[in-house]
Amino acid sequence: MQLLAGWLQECSGNLYSFAGESVPIKGTVELKTSFGEQPDVKTILILYTVVDAPASYNIFIGRPSLNRLGAIVSARYLCMKFPVGRRVGSVWADSQVARRCYEDSLKVEKNAPGGAVNALDLDPRGQYEHERPHLAEDLKEIRLGYPLEQTTKIGTVMNHEEKGLLIAFLKANHNVFAWSARDMPGVSLDFMCHRLSVEQGAKPVAQKKRKREEEKCEAAREETCKLLSVGFVREVQYPIWLANVVMVKKPNGKWRMCTDYTDLNKACPKDPYPLPNIDRLVDSVAGFALLSFMDAYSWYNQIRMHPQDEVKTTFITNEGAFCYRVVPFGLKNAEATYQRLMDKIFQGVLG
């Protein structure tokens, strides 16, 4: 349609089909739209909802617009008529073009069984990428060690004694921070690992490989190479569970590679392990002068998959099939396993 991104008005949500499939809405745009041919032309203003989805049609005209146009549609005669003053305007369809569009729509690759899924369902990191609240105080950057990139930031409203003690403590423990993925030895399998517990009788699903644009293929290749280099994934052959990757654009313009584990998640029972309640956490810090936060590097990737379940996480790209050796984002019970690990590590010092 060659619409400029600046024309779109922000609109969040999804567009749902009759079968329940959802497509993320990119925005809305109001355009003057003309129907018919001279002299029987009628122009109305239509608010379009814009999505990025493969289809043999560029535009769908909904009932509100047809009602505003005053149109009567005949599917049998491939004709639409509407009043133009005291005259009647007509829009006729070409039967050959209509048939070709129908045939092309059958060729459009459909989503995997179970319908499309929201990007946040595949990877929860996206919900934390919106604009963060403004800080209540200025920050000062300090260097903790070498190389020079080993820096962090602290607040500026502490008194001189508190600031000195905090900086000394951070520098003395700079080696416990993960400055890159290579600094993450991972959690021992004897201490904690993630089991899938696929229900007995569940039929493995190998999703058909989906086509992607060249830009997305290149981004997937780069991300796969990174995962291989740090040992997070390994190549596999003859997997019985197979998932597609979904490329999601981040606010900074880069691509995130998510994995569509919809079918695998359906075959796994939900882990009922209790997750923290934000109200209880806020109440527990009342009355304390200092509050400590921990920002975990790569979240779930610090936890190993159980060796027998690794192959079930297999995903496919143009470079081949790979499975995760660590817990990937998008698995049904990853959050529960991660919380269980945190509670086990920090038992006695939480709250």
Number of H helices, E strands in the chain: 8, 15
Q: For the chain, what percent of residues have pLDDT higher than 90?
A: 34
Residues in the chain where the model's pLDDT stays below 50: 110-120, 127-128, 130
Determine the pLDDT at residue 16. 67
Vertex 334: Cα angle to 329 and 335 (nearest 5) = 105
Is the CATH number of domain 181-345 3.40.50.620? no
Report residue 286 CA to chain centroid gap: 35
Q: What number of other Cβ atoms are within 10 A of residue 246's Cβ?
A: 22
Provide the pLDDT for residue 11: 75
Provide the residue type at 321 as one letter: A
Give the separation between CA 53 and CA 17, rounded to whole angstroms: 12
C-alpha distances in Å from residue 350, one per residue of 277, 285, 289:
13, 10, 16
What is the pTM assigned to this prediction? Answer: 0.56
Task: Give the integer Cα–Cα distance in Å for 331 and 121.
Answer: 9
Q: Where are the domains of the chain?
A: 5-107, 181-345
Give me the residue label for tokens 């609240």.
133
Which pLDDT score, from 0 to 100, does residue 284 have?
76
